[in-house]
C-alpha cells in the first residue's frame, strides 16, 4: 500500500505592527510608488520587541494544530525552516517544541533561505512515506527585519516578519505527489549576509549583520530557475500545465510571481498573492500564502496545488500536492 503525506491543517501568524511604504519614506530614501512598481509590496509586518522567531512559529503552529484537530502530543516530529533563528543553538524547532509542550520527539531546523519551508516539507514527506512517522509539524518562520539594513533602500523595502505552519499526516489518499529541491552555491554572493558565527560577529569591524543582495542578477536567475522547476515537476508527474488548479509561489516580488504564472500559462486569478500585504517573509511566505488560500475559500479540497520558492544559496524547490 502506498503511503502519502497529506496536509490536514494549516495556520499563519503575522505580528501586529505594520510598516507601510509611507512609513518607510520617513526612514529611507524611497517612495510608495517606486516600491509598488518594482515589487508589488504595500506593507510588511514587524515583530515586536521581545517577540522572536519561535514565538511567531508557535502562534502559527497552534492554528495549524487546531485546523488539523489534533494536539501537539500527537506529533512525531517538528521541522522548522528559518534563516533567522532565535539562537545559534538550541534550534528554533527545539524552542518551539518546548512552547508546545511535546518533549521527546525529533525537532530540528532547516536553513535554505526563502526555500526553507519547501525543503522542510520535502524532508517531512520522506519521513512519512518511509513509514517511520505519522504526523509532522512543518513550519516556516522568520524575523527578517532584525537583519535588515534600514539605510539600504534596495533591501529595506523588501522584507517582513511572519510564520506559517502545516500538519502532515500519513494517509492512503493522495497528498504530496512530489517534491523537488535544488541548490547552486556558485551564486552565494548574489544574495547573502555580511557575516556569521564562523567568519566573526564583531560589530566594531563591519557593523551589524545585514542582508546584501544584487537585485537585478537575483531576478534574472530566479525567473529562469523557477521556470525550469515548473517543467521538472510537471514532467515528473506526467501532468500538463492545465492540470494545475492553483500556484502558491514564494512571495518575494510580484514581477517574479507574474513571470512564473506566465510560464504556467495561468491566469493571475489562479495564483495566490499576499506579497502586497506581507513583503518577503522568506521561509514563512509559502505556508502563509497556502493558509490564506485555504482559509479564504479559494483553494478547495481535491484541487491540485503547486508550491514553489527560490532563495539565497541559491536554493529552489517545489512541491505538488492534492488537498
Beta bridge partners of 248: 307
Nearest to 165 by CA among 228, 78, 265: 78
> At 279, is the secondary structure helix, strand, or coil?
coil
d(CA 16, CA 7): 27
Beta bridge partners of 321: 176, 305
Q: How far is CA 276 from CA 32, 205, 253, 280, in A?
A: 12, 36, 9, 9
> At 271, is the secondary structure helix, strand, or coil?
strand
Q: How is 184-225 classified by DSSP, letter by letter?
A: -GGGGGGEEES-BTTTB--HHHH-S--EEE-HHHHHHHHHHH
d(CA 278, CA 160): 6
**Cis amide bond preceding 314, omega within 30:** yes
**Cis amide bond preceding 287, omega within 30:** no
Query: DSSP assignment, residue 243?
Result: G
Q: Considering 114, 133, 187, 253, which one is annotated as catalytic?
A: 114
Q: Is 94 a catalytic residue?
A: no
Q: Is 250 a catalytic residue?
A: yes
> At 282, is the secondary structure helix, strand, or coil?
helix
Q: Is 114 a catalytic residue?
A: yes
Nearest to 227 by CA among 304, 286, 119, 308: 308
> At 251, is the secondary structure helix, strand, or coil?
coil
Nearest to 77 by CA among 16, 27, 5: 5
Q: Considering 45, 133, 187, 250, which one is annotated as catalytic?
A: 250
Query: DSSP assignment, residue 165?
Result: E
Residue numbers annotated as active site: 114, 250, 280
Amino acid at each position: 500500500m502506498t503511503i502519502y503525506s497529506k496536509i490536514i491543517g494549516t495556520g499563519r501568524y503575522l505580528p501586529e505592527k505594520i510598516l507601510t511604504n509611507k512609513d518607510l519614506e520617513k526612514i529611507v530614501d524611497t517612495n510608495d510608488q517606486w516600491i509598488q512598481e518594482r515589487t508589488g509590496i504595500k506593507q510588511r509586518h514587524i515583530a515586536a520587541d521581545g517577540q522572536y522567531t519561535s514565538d511567531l512559529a508557535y502562534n502559527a503552529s497552534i492554528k495549524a494544530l487546531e485546523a488539523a484537530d489534533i494536539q501537539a502530543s500527537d506529533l512525531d516530529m517538528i521541522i522548522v525552516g528559518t534563516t533567522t533563528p532565535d539562537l545559534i543553538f538550541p534550534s528554533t524547532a527545539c524552542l518551539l517544541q518546548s512552547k508546545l509542550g511535546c518533549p521527546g520527539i525529533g525537532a530540528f531546523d532547516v536553513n535554505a533561505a526563502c526555500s526553507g519551508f519547501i525543503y522542510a516539507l520535502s524532508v517531512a514527506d520522506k519521513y512519512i512515506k518511509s513509514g517511520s512517522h505519522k504526523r509532522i509539524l512543518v513550519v516556516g518562520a522568520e524575523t527578517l527585519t532584525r537583519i535588515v539594513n534600514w539605510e539600504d533602500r534596495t533591501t529595506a523595502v523588501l522584507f517582513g516578519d511572519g510564520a506559517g505552519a502545516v500538519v502532515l499526516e500519513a494517509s492512503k489518499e493522495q497528498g504530496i505527489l512530489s517534491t523537488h529541491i535544488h541548490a547552486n552555491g556558485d551564486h552565494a554572493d548574489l544574495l547573502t549576509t555580511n557575516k556569521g558565527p564562523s567568519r566573526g560577529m564583531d560589530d566594531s569591524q563591519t557593523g551589524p549583520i545585514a542582508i546584501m543582495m544584487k537585485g537585478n542578477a537575483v531576478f534574472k536567475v530566479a525567473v529562469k530557475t523557477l521556470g525550469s522547476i515548473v517543467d521538472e515537476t510537471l514532467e515528473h508527474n506526467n501532468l500538463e500545465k492545465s492540470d494545475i488548479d492553483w500556484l502558491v509561489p514564494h512571495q518575494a516580488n510580484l514581477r517574479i510571481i507574474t513571470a512564473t504564472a506566465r510560464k504556467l500559462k495561468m491566469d493571475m486569478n489562479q495564483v495566490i498573492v499576499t506579497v502586497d500585504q506581507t513583503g518577503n517573509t522568506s521561509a514563512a511566505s509559502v505556508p502563509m500564502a497556502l493558509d490564506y488560500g485555504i482559509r479564504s475559500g479559494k483553494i478547495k479540497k481535491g484541487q491540485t496545488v503547486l508550491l514553489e520558492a527560490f532563495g539565497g544559496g541559491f536554493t529552489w524547490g517545489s512541491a505538488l500536492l492534492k488537498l
